[in-house]
Amino acid sequence: MPELPEVEVIRRDLEREVVGRKIKKVDVGEMRAIRRHPNKKHFIGQLEGRKITRLERRGKYLLFTLDDGQTLVTHLGMSGQLLRATQSRAAVQKHTHVVLTFTQGGQLRFRDPRTFGEMFVVEDGGMDAVPEVAELGVDPLETPLSWEDFGRMLTARKVKLKPLLMDQKFLAGLGNIYSDEVLFTAGLAHDRHSDTLSTQEVRRLYRALVETIQDAVKYRGTTLDDNGYVDLGGTPGEFQGHLRVYGHEGDPCRRCRRPIMRRKTGGRSTYFCEACQV
């Protein structure tokens, strides 16, 4: 599932590739991809003729600002991909549900084999009516935050660290992969309670969070399988080669050489080193 770093790589690609372009035509295949709209015509009518003026990200949501003030919101869900076709006649891949054709310069295609992702248009100023976006917590890349502020946020919550890091209302954009990586880098156990951290541990966790996200963006995200995340040009990320614990069950820990453990909690796997994370 794409997390903050993957969505940020796509945002930067989109900023370069589609901002300033005018949407000539919209084609929708699978209604589920635009399920918040009553019908295809309603969605299409809000987009055709509009120009994309800005590209923002909130957690895992991409926000395309349109020249009439409306916003096209996109969430990639489990398996969504945004792909740029510079030639409209380039072959369309299976599971492509929405195609935006620009007046000049090809198409933007939304592909999603598992269809948990979606696109929807929000009216000017209407983002408060979208609680999933309006209630998002601090964004580790965008929100200016000191480690002291972060420490106060942790103390106020008194819950286990891993589910807290993945709670979108607390921190926006982290999922299963990066929460495991952040906790390993910080040397903290996934089930430590957030209000039990020392000052030094808070600083370590904050630094691990910021550095892990920045590194993952630098290596253009994590691609774990064939149908996984790709950037706007269809190229997989490279951060999977830099993961230290996620997907590494049984491999020697980079710090202490003991085998990395995997534990299933709430239908999710958590990867960690028992010796290095306390």
Phi and psi of 46, rounded to 5°? Answer: -80, -15
Q: Pick between residue 156 and residue 256 the one whose CB is nearest to Zn ion.
A: 256
Rounded distance between C-alpha atoms, residue 237 and residue 240, angstroms: 7
* Shortest distance in whole angstroms from residue 190 CB to Zn ion: 14
Stretch that binds Zn ion, among 40-48, 190-198, 204-212, 246-254 (CB under 5 A): 246-254
Residue 276 interacting with Zn ion (CB under 5 A): yes
- Choice from 73, 83, 121, 253 touching Zn ion (CB under 5 A): 253
- What token pair was written down for 171? 């921190």
Q: Pick between residue 109 and residue 248 the one whose CB is nearest to Zn ion.
A: 248
* Shortest distance in whole angstroms from residue 258 CB to Zn ion: 5
Residues 179-208 that bind Zn ion (CB under 5 A): none
Stretch that binds Zn ion, among 102-110, 157-165, 188-196, 268-276 (CB under 5 A): 268-276
- Choice from 152, 255, 263, 269 touching Zn ion (CB under 5 A): 255
Token pair 């103390």 in the structure block, residue: 155
Q: Pick between residue 31 and residue 275 the one whose CB is nearest to Zn ion.
A: 275
Active site residues: 2-3, 60, 268
Count of residues that interact with Zn ion, criterion CB under 5 A: 6
Amino acid 149 reads: D
SS3 label, residue 117:
coil
Residues 20-79 that bind Zn ion (CB under 5 A): none
The DSSP call for residue 16 is H
What does each C-alpha distance from 46 to 143, 146, 197 come to in angstroms? 31, 40, 49
| Cα dihedral 71/119/222/192 (nearest 10) | 80
- Choice from 129, 156, 275, 278 touching Zn ion (CB under 5 A): 275
Residue nearest to Zn ion (CB): 253
Residue 108 interacting with Zn ion (CB under 5 A): no
Buried b (16+ CB within 10 A) or exposed e, 103-125: eebbbbbbbbeebebbbbbbeee
Residues 246/176, Cβ–Cβ less than 8 Å: yes
Q: Pick between residue 255 and residue 263 the one whose CB is nearest to Zn ion.
A: 255
- Choice from 39, 256, 265, 269 touching Zn ion (CB under 5 A): 256
Residues 215-244 that bind Zn ion (CB under 5 A): none
Q: Pick between residue 72 and residue 276 the one whose CB is nearest to Zn ion.
A: 276
* Shortest distance in whole angstroms from residue 181 CB to Zn ion: 14
Residue 273 interacting with Zn ion (CB under 5 A): yes
* Shortest distance in whole angstroms from residue 277 CB to Zn ion: 8
Q: Pick between residue 32 and residue 255 the one whose CB is nearest to Zn ion.
A: 255
209 burial (CB, 10 Å; 0-12 / 13-18 / 19+) is: buried
Rounded distance between C-alpha atoms, residue 150 and residue 143, angstroms: 11
Rounded distance between C-alpha atoms, residue 153 and residue 195, angstroms: 9
SS3 label, residue 255:
coil
Token pair 């992702």 in the structure block, residue: 117
Query: Which residues bind to Zn ion, rule: CB under 5 A?
Result: 253, 255-256, 273, 275-276
